Structure 1
Amino acid sequence: MTTAVVSALGDLAHRAAHEHPEDPCACPPPTVLADRADGTVVRSGAVVAKAHAPGTDTPGLLSRLTLANDPHLTGILLAPLKPCPATLCDRPVTLWPHGRPVDPGDPDAAPWEEAAVLLAGLHRTPAPHSLALPPMRGPAKAALAVARMHAARPGDPATVPVLEAWHRLPAWARDEAAAPPHRSHFLCHGDLHLGQLVRHPAPHGPWLLIDVDDAGLGDPAWDLARPAAWYAAGILPPEVWLRFLDAYRAAGGPAVRAEGDPWPELDVPARALTIQVAALAIAKSAAEDRTPDEVEQAMIDACARIASLPPELGAEHSS
């Protein structure tokens, strides 16, 4: 984003953080927390302003913001500040309380169990009947990643294993909704990873899920798909995966059966997430004129193994 837009976001956050924003203050300058194609986030004091992606479905975003404000989800989703959304350069802007994120430099302290419990609580909460929620966007993001890879490297042999793995998925899993009818009514986050948790109030409040841009109705197994895919690819240690899975089950999460083999529910979503991450890795490495790093290559290699398996075998066999 341009410096002027970042400055405008900082001003919006600053004004929201102060009862009398026109008065002089000793606040540090606004800080850019993220600046990506899917959103720019700027913090001023206790408030964060986010400019959402160009072309954002504003009615869908409003429904998702209403969901985040639902009292039944207090303690699960971080609620936005009001009023919102504003607009900036034809992009919707929302305002949020600042929370302390997961420390990437301390992986042993990563809140896997807390994330699992929050997900289980979200999945168990009935969707509000009065709210026209769109489908959660997890499956759509997988399809977009494959399209982005194809555009970045058309005809490149490096894309073949990813495309073959993609076409081996059931047809319903390549659809934007990607949920069997009997599993399509759950509240889902749509893009679960550790960057989607913050402590609020900072720095020692409880963990909450943030970023409802992809939230909606769908199959809750997709919210477990990223850690499942990392585990299957050998990136997430087995003991961490089992801690996460056990905590989710103990909290009554409906995405997988209460005991026994979880892969009948996780197989297809985990394969789709593997493909999504690998496709983005190929697209990003092409854009940056580099080879994929070790983690990216692990996901690409997992796609090659998935593509070589009989269709009925799952992501648990890709490691």
Structure 2
Amino acid sequence: MPPDPDRPPPSPELFGRLAEIGAAEAGAGHEPQILYDRHGVLVVRVGDVVVKAHQADRDGGPLLEARMRVADALPELLLPSLGPPREAGGRVVTLWPYGEPVTPEPGALPWEDGARLLAGLHSTPPPEGTPGWGRPERVARLVTRLDGGTAAEQEIRRAFGTLPAWIREEPGAAPPPDAPRGLLHGDWHLGQMVRVQGTWRLIDVEDLGLGDPAWDLARPAALYSAGVLAHDDWSRFLGAYRAFRGPAVPAEGDPWEVLDVPARTLVIQIAATCVQSARKDERPLDGPEQALVDTCTRISSVGSPA
């Protein structure tokens, strides 16, 4: 994703340092290019090398190194790194080969390739030393930032109250002990894929770990349930995932038995993100954003705290 033209430019010092690191790896003669500059993350391309400065508040120590070792051990599924993490300007920095991102062409999105990669990841025995995925912490963090000052925020907060206590981070609450446990990406969407030499790979391993693989299907399931993702796209994705024998959902029958809680959680999370973005930009919600808030209303009307 290119940088937002309305967003302040990144720190010249940090950009310059990433460009230097990339040039040292890729060689001279390449103009540095910003690929991503949002949410405290800066990604710079220099030739065929991508240099990423991670969020300052994310773990950049042993856990990140362990997740990167998992990616390096599964190069047919995950883009391998170009070495261990390093430090620049007080930020954790990682290096990766450049890959061609997904282009938003309706009808040509690589849903089947995403399903294949996820099914393969979910079916792979976790390498030794794989850390736990943890829990979907982002939704609680985002909802706590909503003060309830608008009708949309109130609807999101009510929907949040229907989620299981462990997702709402209630004291002492824990995920179900019998939940499936396997290798998952942890934050999957089509933007987490790049094509290298004609083959798709998964990227961004900050959440890679052991957990319930159903959460990797949560975002497309959420967007489909809100009417934002077309039925044909959802059918292509889910059908391909089942065809590749992905273990996160039953091979036949109703997938929502396992997708309901993850999908509800992601609807609320994405809706909270949209409301905060609209408030920051002083603009009304657009159509898809309002559809997500409306889905929160449906969630709160039928749900109850679990």
TM-score by length of 1: 0.87
Give the deviation of 1:7 after TM superposition. Answer: 1.5
User: For residue 156 of structure 2, what is the aligned residue in structure 1?
Assistant: 162
State percent identity of aligned pairs: 48
CA distance in 1 between partners of 2:98 and 2:134 (Å): 24
The structural deviation recorded for 1:199 is 0.2
Q: CA RMSD in A?
A: 2.0
Query: What residue number does 2:97 align with?
Result: 97
Q: Secondary structure of the equivalent of 2:87?
A: strand
For residue 48 of structure 1, what is the aligned residue in structure 2?
Answer: 50
Classify the secondary structure of the residue corresponding to 1:217. strand
Q: How much does 1:254 deviate?
A: 1.0
Distance 1:178 1:43 in 2: 41
What is the Cα deviation at residue 167 of structure 1? 0.7
TM-score normalised to structure 2 length:
0.91
Secondary structure of 2:270's aligned partner: helix
Unaligned runs of 5+ in 2: 1-9
Q: Deviations over 1:91-115 (max 9, x none)?
A: 11000000000012x1221100110
Q: Is residue 141 from structure 1 mapped to residue 138 from structure 2 by the alignment?
A: yes
Distance in 1, matches of 2:175 and 2:114, equals 22
Residues in 1 aligned to 2:22 and 2:144: alpha-carbon distance in whole angstroms: 35
Is the Cα contact below 8 Å between 1:193 and 1:226 reproduced in 2? Answer: yes
Aligned partner (choices 237, 243, 247) of residue 254 of structure 1: 247
Q: CA–CA distance in 2 between the matches of 1:249 and 1:175? A: 32
Aligned to 2:6: none
Tell me by how many angstroms 1:216 deviates.
1.4
| Partner amino acid, structure 1, of 2:91 | R
Using the TM superposition, give the Cα deviation of residue 147 of structure 1 relative to its aligned residue in structure 2, in angstroms. 2.3
Aligned residue pairs total 294
Counterpart-to-counterpart distance in 1, 2:296 and 2:78: 33
Q: Distance in 2 between matches of 1:64 and 1:119?
A: 16
What CA distance in whole angstroms lies between the structure 2 residues aligned with 1:60 and 1:30? 29
Q: Take 2:174 and 2:184, find their aligned partners in 1: how far apart are those partners?
A: 13
Q: How far did residue 126 of structure 1 move?
A: 1.4
Q: CA deviation at 1:156?
A: 3.4
Tell me how far 1:178 sits from its aligned partner. 7.1
Deviation, structure 1 residue 74: 2.2
The answer to whether structure 1 residue 69 and structure 2 residue 62 are counterparts is no
What residue in structure 2 maps to residue 110 of structure 1?
A: 109
CA 1:175/1:113 → structure 2, altered by over 3 Å: closer, same or farther? Answer: farther
* Residue 214 of structure 1: how far off its partner (Å): 1.6
- 2:178, 2:75 → 1: CA distance? 27
- Name the amino acid aligned to 2:25: A
Q: CA deviation at 1:213?
A: 1.1
Contact persistence 2:101–2:191 (CA under 8 A)? yes
Q: Find the counterpart in structure 2 of residue 57 from structure 1.
A: 59
Deviates more, 1:176-185 or 1:117-126: 176-185
SS in 2 for 1:168: coil
Give, as a single letter, the amino acid of the residue that structure 1 aligns with 2:14.
V
Give, in whole Å, the separation in 1 of the partners of 2:158 and 2:302. 11
2:1 maps to 1:2: no
Shift of 1:175: 4.0
Where in structure 1 do 4 or more consecutive aligned residues deviate above 2 Å?
153-158, 172-185, 310-313
Superposition pairs of residues 177-256 of structure 1, within 5 angstroms: 179-201=175-197, 205-256=198-249
State the one-letter code of the partner of 2:65: L
Contact 1:178 1:218 in 2 (8 A): no
Partner Cα separation in structure 2 for residue 310 and residue 69 of structure 1 = 41
Aligned equivalent of 2:272: 279
CA distance in 1, matches of 2:229, 2:272: 19
Instruction: Report the structure, 1 or 2, having the larger helix content.
Output: 1
Whether the 8 Å CA contact 1:116–1:245 is kept in 2: the answer is yes
Give distance in 2, aligned partners of 1:88 and 1:297.
40
Asked if structure 1 preserves the Cα contact closer than 8 Å seen for 2:133 and 2:186, the reply is no
